[in-house]
């Protein structure tokens, strides 16, 4: 099982939010590339990078004199800092052009969340154009219902229904986030994660709520080949979990192939 350290970007800085609330932000570092180097030095084989400004639709923050949003600049800088480490990138990727841009700036694969719920056929086109290994569905749920637009809107679609729709359109992998737990250090929802994998046939990466190594161990115990990884954010930044220990708990080895 792969451990994905999270690097959440807001106005170019590395931050963490609680339950995705923009008003409940803690800034951790002004240099996301340095954060990326730190996680890779500690053994990270993948990085999970999110453009929060893009997810919120907040204009992406384009600096004066630049034509590129600052968080896309940060993506490019992270890739330059750790060029051998694959990056999983999401947040505001809502068109084929957005996906292509992120891939061109160094992302190995992109996460389609809001657009997956609103325009699943576009996701199918992305899979055809870029390949299933480069497209990930983002399934973010609050009380079992899918949330979109930076988690500000809740839809009538259930997480399992969206997962099945994505599988029918050629998607093989999804990130599942239990929003109520994200950034709260209350424990990962291992049962819902395993159920989503079982009922959809997708390989699932769990996100939201990891508080301790016990959470990583619980996910690994339920993995059965279908839970592919876990995203860890707040617990790493607060020191509640050390990345090397999480990697060992996940059973990840240096020779494990990149999924």
Active-site residue, from 8, 53, 98, 182: 8
Label residue 67 by pLDDT band (50, 70, 90): low
| DSSP H or E stretch at residue 188 | none
Average pLDDT, the chain: 87
Q: What angle do CA 155, 49, 109 make, to 5 degrees?
A: 80
> Which sequence spans correspond to the domains of the chain?
2-250
Q: Are 53 and 61 in contact (CB under 8 A)?
A: yes
User: What CATH number has the domain spanning 2-250?
Assistant: 3.20.20.70
DSSP state letters, 76-143 = HHHHHHSTTS-EEEESS--SHHHHHHHHHTT-SEEEE-HHHHH-HHHHHHHHHHH-GGGEEEEEEEET
pLDDT digits (tens, 9 = 90+) for 80-97: 999 999 999 999 899 999
Q: Among 69-78, 116-125, 216-225, 238-247, whose mean pLDDT is lowest? A: 216-225
pLDDT band at residue 143, thresholds of 50, 70 and 90? confident
Give the C-alpha separation, 107 to 118, whole Å.
23
pLDDT value at 242 more than 90? yes
Bridge partners (DSSP) of residue 112 are: 137
Q: What is the pLDDT of residue 255?
A: 47
Residues paired with 146 in a beta bridge: 141
Question: Is 156 part of the annotated catalytic residue set?
Answer: no
Encode pLDDT of 153-197 as tens digits: 676 788 999 999 999 999 999 999 887 665 455 678 888 899 999
In this model, does residue 150 exceed pLDDT 60? no
Note the Cα 82 to chain centre separation in Å: 18
8 is known as an active-site residue: yes
The H or E element containing residue 73 is helix 70-81
| Catalytic-labelled residue, pool 98, 140, 178, 215 | 140
């Amino acid at each position: 099982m792969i451990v994905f350290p999270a690097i959440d970007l807001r106005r170019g800085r590395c931050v963490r939010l609680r339950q995705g609330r923009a008003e409940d932000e803690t800034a951790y570092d002004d240099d996301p590339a340095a954060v990326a180097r730190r996680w890779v030095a500690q053994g990270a084989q993948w990085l999970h990078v999110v453009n929060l400004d893009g997810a919120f639709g907040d204009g992406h923050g384009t600096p004066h004199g630049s034509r590129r949003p600052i968080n896309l600049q940060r993506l490019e800088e992270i890739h330059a800092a750790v060029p051998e480490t694959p990056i999983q990138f999401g947040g505001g990727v809502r068109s084929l052009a957005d996906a292509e841009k992120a891939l061109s700036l160094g992302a190995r694969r992109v996460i389609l969340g809001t657009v997956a719920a609103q325009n699943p056929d576009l996701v199918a086109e992305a899979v055809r154009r870029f390949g299933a290994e480069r497209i990930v569905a983002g399934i973010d749920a609050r009380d079992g219902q899918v949330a979109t637009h930076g988690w500000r809107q809740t839809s009538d679609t259930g997480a399992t229904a969206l997962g099945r729709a994505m599988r029918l359109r050629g998607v093989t992998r999804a990130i599942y986030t239990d929003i109520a737990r994200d950034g709260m250090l209350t424990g990962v929802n291992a049962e819902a994660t395993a159920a989503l994998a079982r009922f959809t046939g997708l390989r699932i990466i769990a996100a939201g709520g990891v508080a301790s190594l016990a959470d990583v161990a619980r996910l690994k115990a339920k993995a059965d080949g279908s839970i592919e990884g876990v995203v860890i954010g707040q617990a790493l930044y607060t020191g509640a979990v050390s990345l090397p220990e999480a990697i060992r708990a996940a059973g990840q080895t240096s020779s494990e192939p990149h999924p």
